[in-house]
Structure formats: structure tokens, C-alpha cells
Amino acid sequence: MADKKAFVTGVTGQDGAYLSKLLLEKGYRVYGLLQRSTRYAFENLDYLGVTGDVDYVEGNMDDEASLINAIRRVHPDEVYNLAAQSFVGVSWDQARLTTEVNSLGVLNLLNAIKNFTPTTRFYQASTSEMFGNSADEQGIQTENTPFHPRSPYAISKLYAYWITINYKESFGMYCCNGILFNHESPIRGLEFVTRKITDAVVRIKLGMQDRLGLGNLDSCRDWGFAGDYVEAMYLMLQQDDPDNYLVSTGNTHSIADFCSAAFARVGIEDWEKHVFIDPAFKRPAELHRLRGHSERASEKLGWKPRVSFEELVNMMVDADLKRLSPAD
Ligand code: NDP
Ligand code: GDP
């Protein structure tokens, strides 16, 4: 049988890079959607050493014709839709753009698949942000927890979640939602709190920066490693039937916990001295605590996270240390 073909949108992002590497290792031919830019963002793919192994197709989630062209050209066995305006913080200021890319972009892509390659399997990058502050009595989210999105980002992703289910139910397409909790890595965007912290911790350690301004230190996230989470995406598209799966570690830590662990990695114990509260980073509506129970992914996909919270923090700090330390 010829190699399988995967089409990955958001290929230049954190998850796009990890997923491309995984699929290439499995023998896939990987095609990536590249949005037009004066400076293409290949850093993440470079970091994982796979930039030259991916085939690129130019297009934009906002431009249905470009997605039709891409789908007709590639004829993929599997589509992983990772492209998004993915930063919650900016979604209040750019709510319309967030909606166009994250909601209508998914509709565009599903229509292209439905009309030209209806047997293509489809993965939608859904998010724990859709839960907002909903949880069960133990403070845990599952696939059955009611959604109550608390940002334009989360609302845009909820549309995408339901249109993905609707195309499965209406047209018999193989469509899955992965409801992924926060996942991080050395190539996480610098605007996200984990990477902002590890980058600043190293700069403070090396004398390049004095202090770190953060918003809410009390909110808690269920942080996992992106490299583990892309395996769950792949597994979702290898089943007999499509389904929706929550993907999480089951552990939760506060932003303060993350700071404490990251500063400790470089030998700084009195981390509070280096951190100040900057109201500019507080959000109009906060999501206080996420902790997911990924039993379905464990039972049906045989998926389990490998990297612990401590290992993740250390991996990210060590990578920033390597990146920022002066060459000998
Ligand atoms: P990133 O922000 O790192 O990557 C986003 C990608 O989308 C980039 O490749 C970007 O391209 C691309 N993109 C943005 N707008 C468009 C557009 N209009 N047309 C085409 N491409 C576009 O995100 P992550 O890798 O962290 O996340 C992957 C997906 O998973 C996203 O959908 C995110 O919302 C979702 N998710 C992420 C979680 C996480 O913790 N990381 C948790 C749950 C869900 P460019 O490089 O050119 O800007
Ligand atoms: P999110 O869960 O997708 O919004 O991921 P982020 O990494 O952007 O934010 C995680 C949590 O960190 C949220 O509760 C933020 O309010 C909190 N936070 C506190 N300070 C900051 C900050 O300076 N930047 C970001 N991005 N988040 C912060």
C-alpha cells in the first residue's frame, strides 16, 4: 500500500511541528498548509529537524477556495486541523478574526472535504477552554461536563466542536474532536504563560532581565507535554469509528507552582522576589481551574501521558537555558 497522506493545518505551530515529526516517523507523506507571510515561521519545524521533509501548500483557513485547492491537490487520507488564532488573551481584542479562523475556517475545511474527498478522516483541535469553570463535584472535567466558554476564543472553538460533530452525524464523515488540555514544550509560543515564565527565569538567571510581570498567579491548569498529546491526535484517526476524546494528565498546578518549579530549576528559591503582578495580563473573564479525566482516551486509544509536570518544567527551562546561554 502506498504511504498514507496527511494534511496538517497549523503546521508551523507547536503541535503542527510535533505532529509532523510523528507522522513522518510513521512513514506518512505530510503536507502542511502555509499561510502567506513575508517571513514564513519555520522555527518550530526547524527545532524538530523536519522542515525539509514536509510538503507545503499555500492557503488560508479564511479562504475556502484555497482549502478546496489544497484538498483536491493532496487528496489526503487524514486531515489534522490545528490552525487557529490560538491565544485566549488576544481573543477579546481580535474576536472577529478569532471567530473567522477558528469557526468559519473549520466550516470551510469541512466543506472542502465533504465535497471532494468525503472519506478523508478529520481531526479537530478542540480545547478544554470550552468548559470554562464547569466541573463535577470533585472539580474534574470529563467528556460529559457541560460547556460554558468564557472567552471569544473558547466560543469560537465551541462552534468548531459542534460543526465537526454535525458533519459526522449529517454526512457520515469520520470526524473526531480532541478536547485537549493545555500542552506545552520548548517551542510553545512565548505569549503563553509557561514559556513566558521559563524564558524569563533563564533571562533573570543570566542577568539579562530583572523581573517578570504576570497576571493571575492562582489559576490552575492541567499541563501536559505536546509531544505526548500529538500521539493521541494520531490514535483518534486510527479507530474503527470516530469519537470525541478528552486528553489531559489528570493533575493540576497553579501559575505560582509553575513559577516555583521553574525558578528552582536554575537554583533560585525566593522566586516571589522576581515576580510582580501586572494587571495588563489579567483577563476580563478567567478560567480558574482545569483538571481533566482522560479515561476514554486511556481505555479506547491506549493513550497515556508520559512526561510529568516536573519533567515538563525542567525540559522547558533547560531548552531556554541552552538557547539563551552565550556560546563558549
Ligand atoms: P500555535 O499558535 O502554535 O499554532 C497555530 C498555527 O495556526 C500556526 O501554524 C499558524 O500559522 C496557523 N494559523 C493561524 N491562523 C491561520 C490562518 N488564518 N490560516 C492558516 N493557518 C493559520 O498553536 P498550537 O500548536 O499550540 O495549537 C494547535 C491547535 O490546538 C490550535 O487550534 C489550538 O487552538 C489548539 N489547542 C491548543 C492547546 C495547547 O495547549 N497548545 C490546547 C487545546 C487546543 P503561522 O505560524 O503562520 O502563524
Ligand atoms: P490558556 O489556558 O490557553 O489561556 O493559556 P495561557 O498560558 O495563556 O494562560 C494560562 C493561565 O495563566 C490563565 O489563567 C492566565 O490568566 C494565567 N496567566 C497569568 N499571567 C499570565 C501572563 O502573563 N500571560 C499569560 N498568557 N497568561 C497568564
> Closest Cα to atom 1, ligand 2: which residue?
88
Asked if residue 89 has its Cβ within 6 Å of ligand 2, the reply is yes
What is the position in ligand 2's atom list of the atom closest to the CA of 278? 23
182-199 residue pLDDT tens = 999 999 999 999 999 999
Q: What is the pLDDT of residues 66-94, one digit of tens each?
A: 999 999 999 999 999 999 999 999 999 99
CB atoms under 10 Å from CB of 23, counted, come to 24
The Cα–Cα gap between 201 and 208 comes to 10
Task: Please tell me the distance between residue 71's alpha carbon and the centre of ligand 2 in angstroms.
Answer: 35
Average pLDDT over residues 304-322: 98
- Cα separation, 14 vs 103, in Å, equals 20
Ligand 1 pocket test, candidate residues 21, 37, 58, 86, most atoms within 8 A of CB: 86
Q: Is the pTM of this model over 0.85?
A: yes
Split at pLDDT 50, 70, 90, the class of 1 is low
Q: Where are the alpha helices (DSSP H) in the chain?
A: 14-25, 43-47, 64-74, 88-91, 95-99, 105-116, 152-171, 193-205, 226-236, 255-265, 295-296, 309-324
pLDDT confidence of 327, banded at 50, 70, 90?
confident
- CA 157 to ligand 1 center in whole angstroms: 12
Q: What is the mean pLDDT of residues 131-135?
A: 97
| Cα angle, residue 246 at apex, residues 241 and 252 outer, rounded to 5° | 165
Q: Which ligand is nearest to the CA of 183?
A: 1
What residues are annotated to the active site?
127, 129, 153
Could you read off the pLDDT of 25-66 as tens digits, one per residue?
A: 999 999 999 999 988 999 999 999 999 999 999 999 999 999
Atom of ligand 1 minimally distant from the CA of 182:
40
Sheet holding 29-34, edge to edge: 55-58, 29-34, 5-9, 78-81, 121-127, 175-180, 244-247
The whole-chain average pLDDT of the chain stands at 97
Quick one: pLDDT at residue 32? 98
In tens, the pLDDT along 266-296 reads: 999 999 999 999 999 999 999 999 999 999 9
Backbone angles phi, psi at 193, to 5 degrees: -65, -35
The answer to whether the beta carbons of residues 317 and 195 sit under 8 Å apart is no
| pLDDT on residue 320 | 98
Place of cell 507545503: 56
Per-residue confidence (pLDDT) for residue 30, from 0 to 100: 98
